[in-house]
């Protein structure tokens, strides 16, 4: 994970109602690198939803298939709603997966769509360096 995305996560975890968020590669397990490292890829602002738990969510999302008969590029993101929260996940064309757990009706919940769009359009640090 490059420092650019680490800083992006650090800034987003401070939004009120953001329980946890993380970024990983959907190909990480297939590449032989291994499972998601909770401290390197995840952030948490809630003791009830630790970075380890967010890493488990990312690990599960890496293996979650898309909707049947739907091209992955046709779906911008997937959202699961629970009693008092949501989990949102999206995958960029470069294979990076972002997921966030937020409280319902919080600032983070209200900003979830723009936040997800922002992640999808972020340039990687390599793309920011002039050639």
55-95 pLDDT, tens per residue?
999 888 887 766 666 565 567 899 999 999 999 999 888 88
26 or 98, greater pLDDT: 98
Three-state secondary structure call for residue 34: coil
Residue 15 reports pLDDT greater than 60: yes
Helix, strand, coil % over all residues of the chain, rounded to 5: 35, 25, 40
Residue 31 reports pLDDT greater than 50: no
Instruction: Give the Å distances, CA to CA, from 109 to 40, 74, 86.
Output: 24, 23, 8
Residue pair 92/110 in contact (Cβ under 8 Å)? The answer is no
Largest CA distance in the chain: 48
Q: What is the pLDDT of residue 120?
A: 92
CA distance 36 to 17: 24
Residue pair 36/58 in contact (Cβ under 8 Å)? The answer is yes
Residue 1 reports pLDDT greater than 70: no
CA distance 19 to 50: 8
**Sign of the C-alpha dihedral computed for residues 29, 35, 38 and 40 taken in this order:** negative
If you average pLDDT over residues 31-40, what whole number do you get?
A: 45
Q: What is the pLDDT of residue 126?
A: 52
CA distance 31 to 36: 12
Q: What is the pLDDT of residue 33?
A: 41
Claim: this prediction has a pTM higher than 0.85 = no
Share of the chain above pLDDT 90, in %: 51
User: In the structure encoding, which two tokens stand for residue 16, read together?
Assistant: 């009120």
Q: What is the pLDDT of residue 34?
A: 47
**Please, what are the domains in the chain?**
3-124 (3.30.450.30)
Task: Look at residues 123, 83, 74 and name the one whose alpha carbon lies nearest to residue 101.
Answer: 83
CA 94 to mean position of chain CA atoms: 14
């Amino acid at each position: 994970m490059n420092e650019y995305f680490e800083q992006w996560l650090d800034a987003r975890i401070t939004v009120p109602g953001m329980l946890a968020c993380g970024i990983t590669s959907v190909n990480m397990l297939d590449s032989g690198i291994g499972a998601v490292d909770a401290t390197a890829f995840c952030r948490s602002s809630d003791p009830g939803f630790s970075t380890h738990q967010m890493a488990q969510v990312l690990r599960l999302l890496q293996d979650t298939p898309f909707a049947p008969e739907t091209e992955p590029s046709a779906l911008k993101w997937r959202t699961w709603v629970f009693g008092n929260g949501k989990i949102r996940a999206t995958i960029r064309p470069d294979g990076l997966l972002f997921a966030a757990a937020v409280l319902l009706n919080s600032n983070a919940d209200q900003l979830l769509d723009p936040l997800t769009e922002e992640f999808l359009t972020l340039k990687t640090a390599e793309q920011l360096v002039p050639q």
